[in-house]
Structure 1
């Protein structure tokens, strides 16, 4: 079969990002014909104790970063930054986490260079009837929640087994929240309440010992919580009881939820902490913005706020293994090109931009762009 060439990048230009897309010890899982079309960045395996010679012996070759951009049809970069997009030749295919809905400059580079962006964040398993089943990279998301708890607990110097008891509120219950709860339980935190937009009875695979409640937006636009006894209250009052607040919500960028708005922050407990794993700037909390491993947390009045936007890198070896497990089965599909993509709902629905033409309407609405190419900002 005819295959496109793939440049597999090992070094990231994002601060403290150490994850790789293909774990060196999973190369044996890949068919030889596919491997011979993979070109790895020099020193790719060194952090994992795998030499250049070892990798070179089983793949198409190893090249400096600049040559990968020039030679390969597809670039495989987990967390591409603007400089990566500027280095891509025209009509390159990017396979990674571009998160271009909220990134105007990256979107513009993709438009100008006629790039195709296949977004990991948009890769899902769909049923034959078109119903959503699961996110392909759900294990990485679980690690995001898990790692964020480990990081914050160390930064604050607290623990669930020692010191005063602490109440935890978790917003949403997807993979991120599940990972966070697993970490919390391991650290001795057991007073945990989860609030979801689904009624508690419809939340599958509930974790024993965790309380589940429902919240929704009222007709007036206010968020309210609903309890099984039909008791309700403003959602901010639920958050006001918490020592630890974890946000694992996948926001609708066209209609985001605000959990703490201006004028409400003083209702939260002094010295409480918000762990905003979702970290969408300006969403959820009026002061929300991504933070970095170099400066992971700040204090907003009396409340700590943490929002490192690539927390799985805190556990980069485990995260790389999980990413690779998710990605390797789709390598042949991606490498066979557009005709093959159309046969895979998982891949086809994950194309955010195709040869510079925006496919995801949320990019248009969030960035206020014209519907037709070149999608000028209105």
Structure 2
């Protein structure tokens, strides 16, 4: 199979779909890899590194899209990239379609085979291709929140961990999954006062055991969310509904009542955000203020630590890339129901029920679509 790796073009996105080590592995299976020039230079991988791994360098993204049978990316294709997709071409990347009707309609019209990292599952019901970026984003959320609380950034001027004689900041984490657990780990490490809110009692028990009772756990209701958000200095939004738009758990009315200079980091922004006043920002302009509350809503947070993120992502995507290349997409999808869960758009049809529901579009099951 011919695999294409274009350079990412989202603002301040330096990750790359395949690092040279991944290319070398795929080439060893007899496949060809075309890489757009300078695709990996932002994280220290030169064109020569790719050549040494067995890839061929092409001058433009359009050259890569024209040659490749499968496009491997990191972030969702931008409009100019979507225009280059063709019928039957495989697109393997993060998509986050539920809050993005424009991208969804473009992918439908392309008639490409679009497999989303974020809805691929494993035998335990987890999301193995989302997990490493959720780990990164969860850890980064505390760094970003500390940054947003600085007075020069519009925050209240509070140090997360305080100092002797000064109480620490109150950090409220909504969602106790991978993002929430990693955020809690970082916040506790900085000696903040940490509360995690989740609607799954087993998750709360697990977090309590994991952190030896150092954090507070609260069952999620509208009342408990409002109570703790209004008391918080920093709120981390780490809610995930697989494939669907994130629920708006923090309302605009709550924002109005929050402490002046408090901060929100909405990690769920890729899926539309779990805060009503959130809208996507970039690493160039990461924050904005609504009702004296600093909002950090960068839609590709792990891109800020692009080398770590790219290697971590490649560690989990590589076996799927090899499988798709070795078997072809149809057999690979038919043989692996967990990879099949990643199929979001298939030759003009929505094959992810949560995306179809969120966007009020017709839905067909993935297995019937490829049968």
Higher strand fraction (1 or 2): 1
TM-score, normalising length: structure 2:
0.85
Match of 1:214 among 204, 212, 219: 219
Aligned residue number for residue 92 of structure 2: 95
Given candidates 63, 75, 78, the residue that maps to 2:71 is 75
Matching of residues 1-378 of structure 1 within 5 Å: 4-9=1-6, 11-28=7-24, 30=25, 32-34=27-29, 36-64=31-59, 65-79=61-75, 80-127=77-124, 132-157=125-150, 158-162=158-162, 164=166, 165-186=168-189, 188-199=190-201, 203-204=205-206, 206-208=210-212, 209-216=214-221, 223-225=222-224, 235-251=225-241, 257-279=247-269, 284-335=274-325, 336-337=327-328, 338-371=330-363
Tell me which protein shows more helix as a share of its residues: 2
Q: Deviations over 1:190-224 (max 9, x none)?
A: 310111111257642532312212113xxxxxx13
C-alpha RMSD of matched pairs (Å)? 2.4
Contact 2:282 2:298 in 1 (8 A): yes
Change (3 A) 1:260 1:334: same
In the TM superposition, what is the alpha-carbon distance from 1:369 to its structure 2 partner? 2.4
User: Structure 2, unaligned stretches of length 5 or more?
Assistant: 151-157, 365-371
Structure 2 CA distance, aligned partners of 1:362 and 1:85?
22
Q: Matched residues in 2 for 1:322 and 1:276: separation?
A: 22
For residues 104-137 of structure 1, give each alpha carbon's deviation from its aligned partner in whole angstroms, at most 9, with x where no partner exists: 121212222211110001111125xxxx144333
Distance 1:148 1:262 in 2: 21
Conserved 8 A contact 2:109-2:348: yes
Matched residue count: 347
Q: Is the 8 A contact 1:92 1:116 kept in 2?
A: yes
- Closer/same/farther in 2, CA of residues 242 and 56 from structure 1, 3 Å limit: same
Q: Which runs of 5+ in 1 are unaligned?
A: 217-222, 226-234, 373-378
Aligned equivalents of 2:38 and 2:331: distance in 1?
34
Report the TM-score, using the length of structure 1 for normalisation: 0.84
- Is the alpha carbon distance of 1:37 and 1:252 closer, same or farther for their aligned partners in structure 2, counting shifts above 3 Å? closer
Query: In 2 relative to 1, CA 299–60 (structure 1 residues): closer, same or farther, beyond 3 Å?
Result: closer
